[in-house]
Amino acid sequence: MTESPNNHNKTLVLGLGNVIMGDEGVGVHVVRAIEKHTLPAGVECLDGGTGGFILLEPLQSAGRIILIDAAADGNPPGTVTRTTPRFSSDYPPTLTAHDIGVKDLLDAFYMQGGSRDVVLYAIAIDPRQSISMELSPEIAGAVQEAEERILAELRAADPLT
């Protein structure tokens, strides 16, 4: 399969999650917070919602990808981890409330020749939370931490700053 043209100068910041599931929507909350800032040229933010293979095109058209998602990785709720996995199997367990999981999406991306730099910001949540439109206090604090860390990373990669 032929890959979409790759814009090596574009960084895609992709937040995943379902905001009506409370903390499970943390990735969307982070990307929405980042969008409010003046970002370096070539940075595109995308609310990926509950995912789906429709996200393959934006992934394939970026030179660098920063994913933000909730994880049930055994860390205390609110723990923000940054990893640079090389294969979908390297990703921590994320939640399955998405239409398809991050691992499924990335498997399809890699099978189609995707070889971009991918960074994952995983935010640990308690998977037994109740359904709510609100974030728990621990996760609300993690949104701010992830926002600050991602903005710093984006600015550090910008040659104009």
Which of 48, 53, 54, 50 is CA-nearest to residue 67? 48
CB 146 within 8 A of CB 70: no
pLDDT band at 129 (very low <50, low <70, confident <90, very high): confident
Average pLDDT over residues 103-127: 78
Per DSSP bridges, beta strands 43-49 and 80-83 are unpaired
CB 51 within 8 A of CB 16: yes
How far apart CA 69 and CA 160 sit, in angstroms, is 29
Give pTM, 2 decimals.
0.84
How far apart CA 20 and CA 87 sit, in angstroms, is 29
Model confidence pLDDT, tens digit, residues 50-64? 777 778 788 888 889
pLDDT of residue 51: 73
- C-beta neighbour count of 143 within 10 angstroms: 23
pLDDT of residue 8: 62
User: Does residue 115 have a pLDDT over 70?
Assistant: no
CB 30 within 8 A of CB 70: no
When mean pLDDT is compared across 62-71, 101-110, 113-122, 127-136, the lowest value belongs to 101-110
Among residues of the chain, what percentage have pLDDT more than 90? 42
- 137's CB contacts (< 8 A; 6+ apart) are none
pLDDT of residue 158: 77
Domains, in order of start, for the chain? 13-157 (3.40.50.1450)
Please state, rounded to an integer, the average pLDDT across all residues of the chain: 83
Which of 112, 11, 107, 7 is CA-nearest to residue 61? 7
Average pLDDT over residues 113-118: 71
pLDDT of residue 74: 87
pLDDT band at 142 (very low <50, low <70, confident <90, very high): very high
Model confidence pLDDT, tens digit, residues 14-47? 999 888 888 999 999 999 999 999 999 999 999 9
Can you tell me which residue has the tokens 């790759």?
A: 6
When mean pLDDT is compared across 57-71, 90-104, 118-132, the lowest value belongs to 90-104
